[in-house]
Structures are given as structure tokens and as C-alpha cells.
Chains A and B, each alone.
Chain A
């Protein structure tokens, strides 16, 4: 079975290739696959019927108890017969139905074949979850097949409708399957059915009853029972072969199959009969009634199918041996005649271009063969002797006569029988209407032009009709196929003998009912004008399709309403909601818990009383930042808090943090100034009034909540900190004295590696935001740049103070001896500052050396890759500020991208190399050796990792300078827009301050 499935799906996968070679004849090749499987199936008859079924199990995910469990028993065998047989005939038919030039034929063929495979999988799978997977597979494939005509709105819409309805049911079914599987403790269908009786009376009986109803919901939607019957007529937008296969033989039978599969175990479940019989009968009547109103022969068949599906559900679900026998007999008969009729409709449509009974006339005269094929099938549908439909329907009536008249018959049993007879009358009437509408010569209607039919086209329906006759005349084989299934019901207390399928049972009550059916049906057909007048008088009943439209419409409305309420498009709104939740939930929890404050709270740390002063400074800075209405003032105030925090770190006993915070704060300040020099100085607060009050409330509440959350969280601490071991670990394992640095590069190296990756990404993000088209890694040297061309300012009054400065600067630039800075000459004279250039010249190299010292000493003293890299970054910043962007490229001749890559690669290598040497990732080693001048040297390999960190941080700083500094400079010059006076002034001031803070940063270190 697994092989058959695999072959089918593989064939479906390669189908498009076959189509591109063979065109529509590829359908023949595809048809060979189910045909081959059909032959294989015939050979399985022996094992299935004498050996109690064949079983194949392949473990899939054992820990989840998922397995590919398949089982072929008589029910699956009969279903497969229909699926594979009709499947190959429909594929043969497709070869003549479609044209070579039809679009997407390959995909269509593949889907149709895969559908046959999915149906085969569905009926043979012995695992509830596998069953569900195949179930949904058929749903999706049917969506694609119905929507084959992608450009037609009707096709797309009905495909979607079918998908929505059947997936909704499928979802309910999944829940039911899981409940059932959990209740039974196994997902194996055969095992569940074995213990069905125990399940229904056991402790889980309520859950099991609910599960059964949910599974039936899936069956009801799939088999288009009332109230979900509307999707099936809608699905007639599919190409007719698809309708023939999906909507007659295969997919809609999946629901019937589920009912048939569960009936032996669960038909005595609490809600089973009401659902199955109630909905089944309603569907049968509604379908028949509506079929009589249709003028499209395909829709007559569609509603007829709905009616028949209701009929089948009733019979198959009744849960008695005779009904089970009759049900499967009817299922086979229906598959044969309905598929044949659909194929006939396809031929009529194909040859004449219409399916409208008001336009069709004289088709029988044009093609007698087609007429005969159709007549046989339609007669079988109506239940006329001696065809398959008659045999099946006879046994159904027999079963229901027994059911309604038996000694323990329920009071409503007789009404079921009456309903069935009425349904059969309607069936007879619409069968006649179909034949008349499709083939009759109607007075007053022009004969429809009808092209001759090629034999290959007619073959498939002809074979099906032939089988209908054979089945009718010789029902014994079918009887023997089904008897084992019917025998499953034989151990019921009220079981009756299943009886046998036969053409002639003698003069039975069922035969009498059939006679009534024929007479009344024929009367309805002859009085069809009266019937349709009566029908037009009846107002439209509740229309499932319209109900669906309203439901979907209401869903749309709700969706729009909810979206409109929640997705306001205002960041303020979103943040306010998120933040309110963020403080309200913990605050509520704290208040509800109502715990006393923990011990150990102190305001002033005895080890560091100065903290309160630093704290006051930070608070003032933060409040001032909030109040500031000038952009740079606000930035400065935030910096004040930053420097204050650096101080706080120092006071707490964290020199590394203080150093790093200092450096970062300085570079950030420069970056701010560089990025914001073009923005207006004013920082207006637009959100005023009520909104501001809300902001204050949210902010204050959040802050206070955080204080209390922190107090309680820290108070709840019971374990000793793991970091108590860190000093010893750092010294013994990491070979370093600076515990923080060893933690970063060794103990928690993975963290740090993740972090430098983030740095590289952020740096690239900055570069791409500014450079837009590239990463800006090409470097221009200053040689080709004309002297004094960068940042030229115009319109300075010669007599003003600025003018005087300019004059001095010009004099400075005219000096011919060696320049202080390489690219200083490229700057316009008014941009240059003598002192700054000289100082830069003096301190740049010292800073670089110092940064390397920080990097290497960091293992034992405050410092490390981060601090070192930031120091080097600051040195570059100074070069850039003093000498402009060409100075920067002279200072750093390697591109930022290369630096980032090198740094990451170095760090990664330091992590991976130990792996090849037999250690673990990021394991470090201590190497001690002696060098002539330096003496004993202790080298720890994690320093290499730190070097990687250093390079990445330098790359980040360089990227920031090149993007926010150099490239924005170029934007200005490119536009010819001079900087405003104010901004330029701010630029210079802050640059100086930046230099000063660097000095103080070093001081702290």
C-alpha cells in the first residue's frame, strides 16, 4: 500500500514533465498509474478477504507515536476499487476533454493524480492522524482543482468556498480525532474500533460522544450535507472531469467513508443517529427539491449528488447489517452512474457549448450512443430495473422497512421510510428531467449544433454504464465484497440477517415502494410545468449559500472593526497599551500578593556613600533631558546621565564598566552631533494636553512598579550567586586576574560572540542606511583631492570675528613645511583649527598605543577588547574631526566592512581551533614562554578572542564615523547646501568637549 502511494505521488510530481513532452496524451500515461494500482488491488482480493486484511506499518516519529500505519480491509478495498477505477477512467477521459493549448495542464494532471493517491491513502490509513493528513490533502487538492480556471472569478470563489467549508469541518474533526485518540490511548483506528464499546460506556463517555459529533461534523461538511450542502453546487465551476471524480466518486465519499468506518464501533453513540439520520434525510429532500429547479444539467446532477449523499449517509450510518450491506452497494452504484452522468455532461458541454436545458435540443438525434450511455446511468440513478441502482435501492428500502417495522422500531422509524420514499420520488423526477433536458427535442428550440464525438472520448462513460448493467444483472460479486463489512454489525443485540443483494427478491414491500416511487416520479415529471409553477410560488427557503455569504460578510465586518480599533497606525497608541500592560500586570500581582517588604533595604551603601551624590546628578540630568526643548541640550543631558552612571559604576566597584561607559558615552555624543547637524535645533513637543498627562502617568507608574518589582525580586533571592566561583575560575581556568574580562572572553564567550555579531550587523545597518546603495567600503585617498576644497564656506564677513579667524587659518594653511595632518590640506581654510590639528598629531598615536595596551592588559587589569576598541575608535574620531573625511580614510586605510569581517573571523577561529585540537569550542589554554627582552610571558589564548572583539569594535566605530560623519559631509557638499552657522558652531564646541571627556575617561581608568 505504501508502495502504491509512493508511486502515485512520485508520478504526480513528475507529471508536468510528461505533459511538456506528450501534451494532453500524457493523461493516458497518468491513467496507467491508478489503473496499475487497480490491478494490484484485484490481486489483493485473496489476502484481504481470507486473511483478515493486510497491514503495513512504518514507524515515523516513534516518540510521538506517529506511524505510517495502513490497513486494507473489505471496506477499504471496496472504496479503493471505486477510487482507483473511476480515477483512471476520468484521467483517460481528460485526455480528450482538454486541449493541448490549455494552460497549466501539467499542474492539473499532477493534482488530479495526487488526489487519487490522497483518497487511496485516506481509505487505507489505519492511524487517525494519517487519516487526517490525507483528509486535508484532498481538501487542498480539491481547492486547486476547482479553481483550475484561475482567471475566472466564479471558479476562484467557489474553490475558496469549498476550501473554507471543508477545512472548517476538518478542523472540528481534528479536535474530535485527538479526543478520541487520547481517550483510547492509541491512534490506531482498528484498535480504537475494537474497544469502542468500552469507550462509550467508560469514564470518558462524554468526551467520546463529543468526539464522535466533531468527527461527524467533518464528515458532514465534506459530504456536503445540510446545512453545508451549498458548496457542492458551487464547486461545479470546476472542469467537468473534476466534478465527475471529486463530486461524484471520490472526495464527497470521504465523509461517507468516515461514517462507514466508525459505524461498526460508534453508531450506538448518543448523538449518532440524530445527526446521521436527521441531516441525511434533510439533505436528501433539499437536494432533490432543488435539483428539480435547475436549468443547468450539471447543476441538476450537483443537487442530485447532494440528495444522494444524504441518502447514503442515512443508510451507511444506520448501523445495522442489512443497512451496511445496502449502503456500500448504493455507494458503488452511485459512483458508477454519477461519474458516468457527469462525464456525459462534460461531453455535451464540450461538443455543443452549453449546458442550459432551455438551449439544448435534439442532442439525442445527434448522438444516439451518448444518449444510450446517459440513459443507462440515469435509469440506474432513478432505480430502474435491472440496473445497479435498482439492486442497491431495493436493498436500502428493504433495510429501512425492517428498521421501521421491526419489533423494536422507534416511533419515528416509519417517518424515515416515508422520507426515503419521497426522496426517491424526487430522484426519479430529476433523473427524468435530466434526460429530457439534455437529450429531448424540444418544440420551439432550435436543434443544438453538436460536433461528432470521438470514440476515445466516449469510452470512459460507456465503460461505467456497462459496469452499471453488469452490476445490476450479476450482483453476487458485489455482495460477496461487502458481506464481511456487514458482518461487523452482526453481533449487535438487535441485529437482523444482512440478507443478500439480488436483482429479484420476489414481491416484497420494498418492491411495492419502488412501484410507488416510479408512478409518483413519472407523474411529477409529466406535470413538470405545474411542479415548477408550484416551486416558483414557494419563497426561497433559507439558502445555505446566502447564509455562507452573510457569515463571511459578518466576519469581514468584524475583522475590519477589530483592525480599526486595534491597528490605529499610531505608535503612541501601541506603546501606551503595551507599556500599560507591562506595568499593570506586575503591579496588580504585587498588590494581590500583599507581602511585607523584604529585609536588607538600605538607602546609603556603607561601602560607597558617594553614590547618593552621583545618583542625584543622574536624576537631575534625566529630568533636564525630558524638559529640554533644544535638540543638543537634550542630547547633552542624556550624556550627563550616562557619565553619571559611569561614575556610579566606579563607585560600585566596577572599573571596567566605568571605563567602557565613559568611552561609549563620548563616541555616542559625537555620533549624535554628526548625525543631527542637519536637523533643526528646536525640539518641539507636539503631544500636549491630555496625552502628556497620560504619558506622565504611564512613565511614573512604570518607574515605580519597576522599583518594587526589583525590591521583591531581589528580596526573593535565596541561592548564593554562582559568580562567587568566578574569581577562582577566572584565575585558575582563564589565567587572568580581571574577572570581568575573563568572564567575557572565556567563561561566557558564547554571549560575547553573539554580541559582536550584533555589533557587526548594526554597523552594517548604519552604513547601509546612510550609503543606501553600497556599504561604502571603497576608500578614496586624499592625493587627488584639490587643496582646501572640502567644506568651503561662503559669505563670511571679512571684518567680523569669524573673518579674523578665517584670516589666521588661511595663513596657517599657507605654511609649506610638513603638515601636521596628512589630509589637513584638503579642508577649506575656514574649517581648520591649528590647535586641534596639532593636538591630534600629538595624541593620536599615543591613543592607539594605549588602546592596544588596554586590549592586552585587559586580561589582568581593567580594559579588554571593548575598552581598547572604543579607545581606538575615539582616536579615529579625533582624526576625523580635526582633518575631515579624507583624514579619516588616511588614518584607517582598511574598510570598516573588512575590519568587521576580520574581527568576527578571528573570534570565531579562536572558538573553533580548540575543537580541532581535541578541546571544546572556546576552550582556552595558557601558554608560558620566555622572550629575550620581555622575559617570562604568559599568553592566554582567549586573548585572541579579545583581539577579535577589539577589531569588531574598531570596525563599528569606523562605520559610524564614515557613515554619520564622512558620508553625510559628502551629502552636504553634493547638494551645495552650506551648514547653518549654528550647527557648525555646535559641531566645533562638542568636538572639543568630546576631546576633553576622553581625557577624563582616561583619568577614571
Chain B
């Protein structure tokens, strides 16, 4: 059992700074925060490898536990390159936001605000529909039903199926 407090404290500070930064409106800072979080996580993984040791380059004489654990190292290597790709991607987003909106700030979603203020009335649900007492409007048989207007004043000539679909 070996727990390297130095590494863990560094990790804690990086996490704290990263979290502080991603709770910011500026996209650049959010990205920096993400990078710090990635670094913090790498340190966390590294610390699971235990004591510092020999570089994991195999020699027959060395016992396996005197190397620094190679498995966390392999995981971190993957993580480093992935964070590079993600960072580049975020940079692309930041640039595009800047080109489109001339700002690199995370805006509140106004649509969400509007939804919050929406009254629950919904025409589809709540509008009053006149009682329909026929599927077939009384029109002279000769004229085309398709041109029949949607709603009319008298209830019995309200609308036809064809009229609706026209």
C-alpha cells in the first residue's frame, strides 16, 4: 500500500482550479479548466502506480515490482493524446463561435427561458373546437369538396375530410 500525498495534493489543486475554471462563462477558460482536469486525472492515475520506480524497460535481472507500474502509464499515454485531440476540437469550437458571434462566452439559452415563461395553453390541446355533426358537408354534389373552406359559421357545415386535407 503506498499513497503518495504529494501527487494527491497536486491532483487536488488541479481539480479545484479546473472546476473553478469550467464554472466560468468564458469558453477559453472552460477549455483551460478541462485541460487542468485532464492533467489532474492523469496524476490520479499515475499515483495508483505506487512508488516511483525504474522506467519500465525490461531487463531480465530486474524484479517486476521495481519498475514503476506500466499499466497506469499506458492508460495515461492514451489519455494525453486524447486530450490533445479534444483540446484541438474545443479550439475549433471557440474559433467558430468567435467568427459567428464575435464572442467567446457561453450564453444562456434564451429558448429555455422562454419555455419557462410559456403559459400552458396549447391550441392543439385547449382551443375550443365547434361541435361537428357531419363528416360530409352539405354542398351541391357537383362542386368539388376539396375547395371547401375549413371552418364555417353553421355547425352542420363545419368541414369535410377532403376540405381539411386540401
B82 CB → nearest A CB, Å: 6
B133 CB → nearest A CB, Å: 4
Q: B153 to chain A: which residues have CB within 8 Å?
A: none
Q: Does A364 reach chain B (CB closer than 8 Å)?
A: no
Q: A295 to chain B: which residues have CB within 8 Å?
A: 133
**Can you list 9 residue pairs at the A/B interface with Cβ under 8 Å?**
A353-B138, A356-B133, A556-B122, A600-B1, A675-B91, A686-B105, A702-B19, A727-B56, A762-B88
Q: Determine if A707 and B8 form an interchain contact, defined as CB atoms under 8 angstroms apart.
A: yes
* A-B contact sample (6 more), CB < 8 A, given A645-B42, A703-B16, A738-B57: A152-B159, A353-B156, A598-B1, A685-B24, A755-B81, A766-B88
Q: Does A714 reach chain B (CB closer than 8 Å)?
A: yes
- Interface of chain B residues 141 through 159 with chain A (CB within 8 A): 141, 146, 155-157, 159
Q: Is the interface of A mostly helix, strand, loop or mixed?
A: helix
Q: B138 to chain A: which residues have CB within 8 Å?
A: 352-354, 449
Q: A641 to chain B: which residues have CB within 8 Å?
A: 14, 36, 39
- A345–B10 Cα distance when bound, in Å, is 82
Closest chain B residue to A296 by CB distance?
A: B133
Q: Does A552 reach chain B (CB closer than 8 Å)?
A: yes
Q: A996 to chain B: which residues have CB within 8 Å?
A: none
Contacts between the two chains (Cβ within 8 Å), count: 413
B59 CB → nearest A CB, Å: 8
Given contacts A152-B164, A727-B56, contact A602 B25 (CB under 8 A): no
* Interface segment out of the listed A48-56, A65-73, A622-630, A980-988: A622-630
Q: Determine if A763 and B109 form an interchain contact, defined as CB atoms under 8 angstroms apart.
A: no
- A664–B7 Cα distance when bound, in Å, is 21
Q: Determine if A602 and B136 form an interchain contact, defined as CB atoms under 8 angstroms apart.
A: no
Closest chain A residue to B64 by CB distance?
A: A724
A133 CB → nearest B CB, Å: 29
Closest chain B residue to A98 by CB distance?
A: B161
Given contacts A102-B162, A153-B124, A668-B84, contact A607 B52 (CB under 8 A): yes
Given contacts A102-B161, A576-B23, A755-B82, contact A157 B124 (CB under 8 A): yes
Identify B58's interface contact among A739, A747, A748, CB under 8 A.
A739
Given contacts A353-B138, A710-B11, A766-B88, contact A359 B156 (CB under 8 A): yes
Q: Determine if A769 and B64 form an interchain contact, defined as CB atoms under 8 angstroms apart.
A: no
Q: Determine if B10 and A714 form an interchain contact, defined as CB atoms under 8 angstroms apart.
A: no
- Interface of chain B residues 36 through 71 with chain A (CB within 8 A): 36, 39-40, 42-44, 46-49, 51-59, 62, 64-65, 67-71
Q: Determine if A730 and B58 form an interchain contact, defined as CB atoms under 8 angstroms apart.
A: yes
- A678–B95 Cα distance when bound, in Å, is 8
Q: A963 to chain B: which residues have CB within 8 Å?
A: 92
Closest chain B residue to A297 by CB distance?
A: B133
Q: Determine if B92 and A696 form an interchain contact, defined as CB atoms under 8 angstroms apart.
A: no
Q: B86 to chain A: which residues have CB within 8 Å?
A: 762
- Interface of chain B residues 66 through 121 with chain A (CB within 8 A): 67-74, 76-78, 80-89, 91-96, 98-99, 104-106, 108-113, 115-120
Identify B85's interface contact among A356, A601, A685, A758, CB under 8 A.
A758
- Interface of chain A residues 290 through 348 with chain B (CB within 8 A): 295-296, 298
Q: Determine if A672 and B91 form an interchain contact, defined as CB atoms under 8 angstroms apart.
A: yes
- A103–B145 Cα distance when bound, in Å, is 12
- A565–B122 Cα distance when bound, in Å, is 20
Q: B110 to chain A: which residues have CB within 8 Å?
A: 569
- List of 5 A-B pairs having minimum Cβ-Cβ separation, nearest first: A569-B112, A564-B116, A703-B16, A151-B164, A569-B109
Q: Determine if B77 and A353 form an interchain contact, defined as CB atoms under 8 angstroms apart.
A: no
Q: Determine if B17 and A739 form an interchain contact, defined as CB atoms under 8 angstroms apart.
A: no
Q: Does A240 reach chain B (CB closer than 8 Å)?
A: yes
* Interface segment out of the listed A649-657, A818-826, A874-882: A649-657
Please tell me the size bucket of the interface on B: 35 or more
Q: Determine if A751 and B78 form an interchain contact, defined as CB atoms under 8 angstroms apart.
A: yes
A614 CB → nearest B CB, Å: 8
B32 CB → nearest A CB, Å: 5
Q: Determine if A770 and B71 form an interchain contact, defined as CB atoms under 8 angstroms apart.
A: no
Q: Does A191 reach chain B (CB closer than 8 Å)?
A: no
Q: Determine if B19 and A579 form an interchain contact, defined as CB atoms under 8 angstroms apart.
A: yes
Q: Determine if B161 and A615 form an interchain contact, defined as CB atoms under 8 angstroms apart.
A: no
Please tell me the size bucket of the interface on A: 35 or more
Q: Determine if A758 and B82 form an interchain contact, defined as CB atoms under 8 angstroms apart.
A: yes
Q: Does A589 reach chain B (CB closer than 8 Å)?
A: no
Q: B111 to chain A: which residues have CB within 8 Å?
A: 569
Q: Determine if A567 and B115 form an interchain contact, defined as CB atoms under 8 angstroms apart.
A: yes
Q: A354 to chain B: which residues have CB within 8 Å?
A: 133-134, 138, 156
Q: A237 to chain B: which residues have CB within 8 Å?
A: 132
Q: Does A604 reach chain B (CB closer than 8 Å)?
A: yes
Q: Determine if A964 and B88 form an interchain contact, defined as CB atoms under 8 angstroms apart.
A: yes
Q: Determine if A350 and B136 form an interchain contact, defined as CB atoms under 8 angstroms apart.
A: yes
Q: Determine if B25 and A687 form an interchain contact, defined as CB atoms under 8 angstroms apart.
A: yes
Contact with A along B1-33 (1 / 0, CB 8 A): 111111111111111111111111110110010
Q: Does A752 reach chain B (CB closer than 8 Å)?
A: yes
Identify B3's interface contact among A715, A953, A971, CB under 8 A.
A715
- A989–B109 Cα distance when bound, in Å, is 38
- A763–B88 Cα distance when bound, in Å, is 8
Q: Determine if A721 and B69 form an interchain contact, defined as CB atoms under 8 angstroms apart.
A: yes
Q: Determine if A686 and B164 form an interchain contact, defined as CB atoms under 8 angstroms apart.
A: no
Closest chain A residue to B81 by CB distance?
A: A866
Identify A572's interface contact among B23, B32, B44, B119, CB under 8 A.
B23
Q: Determine if A601 and B3 form an interchain contact, defined as CB atoms under 8 angstroms apart.
A: yes
Q: A491 to chain B: which residues have CB within 8 Å?
A: none
Q: A553 to chain B: which residues have CB within 8 Å?
A: 120, 125-126
Q: A684 to chain B: which residues have CB within 8 Å?
A: 26
Q: Determine if A349 and B136 form an interchain contact, defined as CB atoms under 8 angstroms apart.
A: yes
* Interface segment out of the listed A35-43, A212-220, A631-639: A631-639
- Interface of chain A residues 952 through 988 with chain B (CB within 8 A): 953, 956, 959-960, 963-964, 968, 971
Q: Determine if A353 and B80 form an interchain contact, defined as CB atoms under 8 angstroms apart.
A: no
Q: Determine if A353 and B137 form an interchain contact, defined as CB atoms under 8 angstroms apart.
A: yes
Given contacts A102-B162, A353-B137, A625-B32, contact A604 B6 (CB under 8 A): yes
Q: B42 to chain A: which residues have CB within 8 Å?
A: 645
Contact with B along A714-749 (1 / 0, CB 8 A): 110100011111111011000011111001100110
- A638–B165 Cα distance when bound, in Å, is 62
A108 CB → nearest B CB, Å: 11
Q: Determine if A602 and B4 form an interchain contact, defined as CB atoms under 8 angstroms apart.
A: yes
Closest chain B residue to A103 by CB distance?
A: B165
Given contacts A615-B6, A657-B76, A675-B92, contact A638 B11 (CB under 8 A): no
- A634–B43 Cα distance when bound, in Å, is 21
Q: Does A778 reach chain B (CB closer than 8 Å)?
A: no
- A96–B68 Cα distance when bound, in Å, is 85
Q: B53 to chain A: which residues have CB within 8 Å?
A: 607, 652-653
- A457–B113 Cα distance when bound, in Å, is 56
Q: Does A777 reach chain B (CB closer than 8 Å)?
A: no
Q: A851 to chain B: which residues have CB within 8 Å?
A: none
A105 CB → nearest B CB, Å: 11
Closest chain B residue to A949 by CB distance?
A: B81
Q: Does A592 reach chain B (CB closer than 8 Å)?
A: no
Q: Determine if A349 and B135 form an interchain contact, defined as CB atoms under 8 angstroms apart.
A: yes
Closest chain A residue to B95 by CB distance?
A: A675
Q: A728 to chain B: which residues have CB within 8 Å?
A: 64
Q: Determine if A731 and B133 form an interchain contact, defined as CB atoms under 8 angstroms apart.
A: no
Q: Does A699 reach chain B (CB closer than 8 Å)?
A: yes
- A102–B161 Cα distance when bound, in Å, is 8
Q: B73 to chain A: which residues have CB within 8 Å?
A: 654, 656-657, 740, 743
Closest chain B residue to A612 by CB distance?
A: B6
Q: Determine if A645 and B39 form an interchain contact, defined as CB atoms under 8 angstroms apart.
A: yes
- Interface of chain A residues 440 through 459 with chain B (CB within 8 A): 449, 451
B101 CB → nearest A CB, Å: 12
Q: Determine if A968 and B127 form an interchain contact, defined as CB atoms under 8 angstroms apart.
A: no
- Interface of chain A residues 134 through 148 with chain B (CB within 8 A): 148
- A759–B155 Cα distance when bound, in Å, is 65
Q: Determine if A157 and B125 form an interchain contact, defined as CB atoms under 8 angstroms apart.
A: yes
Q: Does A414 reach chain B (CB closer than 8 Å)?
A: no
A270 CB → nearest B CB, Å: 38
Q: Does A927 reach chain B (CB closer than 8 Å)?
A: no
A149 CB → nearest B CB, Å: 5
- A671–B86 Cα distance when bound, in Å, is 12
